Amino acid sequence: MVENIVTRVEGRVGVAQLNRPKALNALNRELMTELMTALEAFDVDPAVGCMVITGSARAFAAGADIKEMAGATPARMMVGSFIDLWDRLHRIGKPVIAAVSGFALGGGCELAMACDLLVASETAQFGQPEINLGVIPGAGGTQRMTLAVGKALAMEMVLNGRMLSADEALRFGLVSRVYPVEVYLEEAIRLGNEIAARAPIAVRLAKEAVNAAFEMSLRAGLDHERRLFYLLFSTDDQKEGMDAFVNKRPAQWTGR
Ligand code: CAA
């Protein structure tokens, strides 16, 4: 039974809303399992072209569930694949947008950064405050934050609990858009629908190519990009897109 998230489809966007308001959407094992299962279902649903993960206006997510973690041992976390569950997000082929308002702390910030695009409300606050609990980020915070905002600021955040406001997150490149809290979610869904209206295989490979920049050397990334580019010349949508351009008409994508 799904209890910790609410899902719906708006247009061609699958929306997964975290729904543990009393715990500020703290990410426990059940919630993360439900979220990954929902995203995987959207990924194979032909009616969905893009996804949005969101929380409430007050909290996207205030981190991994501290109460669940408090008594853990390394062995139990390892055997229980505590963080490994999150890796399922990495295998989602369609783009995933994080629509963030309020607290995006610890694992909440890491979940948002693991998405492909970030849209924030003006009230969003990003932070990696694990140091205050006597630990460090464990789901990508030290890596993705550093890649996103650079070493100097990432060090302040991870070593000293420095938070980023929505405006700072925009300025430092962590998010691509900031909206008033009343409209951030609808704007994120609008962006998702725009992306979902594009050539689906190209969108999938575009996401893969950009994400490769975080995992490969420049040489390997360039080679990878070139192979994906060549591969797209096997699709109907490439023929359609270029024919539509040449004949000055809108393209009709088929996803083939
Ligand atoms: N885990 C479990 N419960 C949490 C939680 C979390 N991460 N964050 C908030 N809650 C719970 C609180 O315990 C509280 O529950 P009760 O009403 O039962 O006491 C409820 O949510 C509301 O929280 P507050 O009363 O604290 O609300 P506030 O407005 O005063 O403060 C806050 C909000 C600043 C976000 C504060 O709740 C806070 O500091 N939360 C913890 C943030 C944090 O340290 N996150 C990192 C977690 S570790 C991690 O994520 C590891 C990793 O890398 C994977």
Tell me how far apart the 2 most distant CA atoms of the chain are, in Å: 65
Average pLDDT, the chain: 97
Q: What is the pLDDT of residue 81?
A: 82
Q: Which of 102, 110, 206, 241 is catalytic?
A: 110
Rounded distance from Cα 163 to ligand 1 centre (Å): 15
Q: What is the pLDDT of residue 131?
A: 98
Q: What is the pLDDT of residue 80?
A: 84
Q: Which of 104, 108, 130, 188 is catalytic?
A: 130
Active site residue 154: no
Tens digit of each residue's pLDDT (9 = 90 or more) over 9-23:
999 999 999 999 999
Ligand 1-lining residues (CB < 6 angstroms): 23-24, 26, 62-67, 103, 105-107, 110, 129-130, 133, 137-139, 141
Nearest atom within ligand 1 for CA of residue 64: 50
In SS3 terms, the chain reads as CCCCEEEEEECCEEEEEECCHHHCCCECHHHHHHHHHHHHHHHCCCCCCEEEEECCCCEEECCECHHHHCCCCHHHHHHCCCCHHHHHHHHCCCCEEEEECEEEECHHHHHHHHCCEEEEECCCEEECHHHHHCCCCCCCHHHHHHHHHCHHHHHHHHHHCCCEEHHHHHHCCCCCEEECCCCHHHHHHHHHHHHHCCCHHHHHHHHHHHHHCCCCCHHHHHHHHHHHHHHHHHCHHHHHHHHHHHCCCCCCCCCC
Q: Which of 102, 106, 107, 141 is catalytic?
A: 107
Which pTM does this prediction carry?
0.97
Rounded distance from Cα 218 to ligand 1 centre (Å): 39
Nearest atom within ligand 1 for CA of residue 129: 44
Question: What average pLDDT score do residues 153-163 get?
Answer: 98
Question: What average pLDDT score do residues 143-157 get?
Answer: 97
Tens digit of each residue's pLDDT (9 = 90 or more) over 229-253:
999 999 999 999 999 999 999 999 9
Nearest residue by C-alpha to atom 12 in ligand 1: 23
With a cut of 80, say whether residue 1 has pLDDT above it.
no
Question: What average pLDDT score do residues 121-147 get?
Answer: 97
Q: Please name the amino acid found at residue 208.
A: E
Nearest residue by C-alpha to atom 13 in ligand 1: 23
Q: Which of 62, 64, 104, 139 is catalytic?
A: 64
Tens digit of each residue's pLDDT (9 = 90 or more) over 81-124:
888 889 999 999 999 999 999 999 999 999 999 999 999 999 99
Active site residue 110: yes
Q: What is the pLDDT of residue 237?
A: 98
Rounded distance from Cα 66 to ligand 1 centre (Å): 7
Q: What is the pLDDT of residue 2?
A: 82
Question: What average pLDDT score do residues 37-53 get?
Answer: 98
| Contact partners, residue 252, CB within 8 Å, separation at least 6 | 240, 244
Tens digit of each residue's pLDDT (9 = 90 or more) over 218-229:
999 999 999 999
How far is CA 231 from each of CA 61, 93, 181, 184, 199, rounded to the nearest angstrom?
Answer: 38, 16, 41, 36, 14
Q: How much of the chain, in percent, has pLDDT values that exceed 90? A: 95
In this structure, the number of other CB atoms found within 10 A of the CB of residue 18 comes to: 26
Rounded distance from Cα 110 to ligand 1 centre (Å): 15
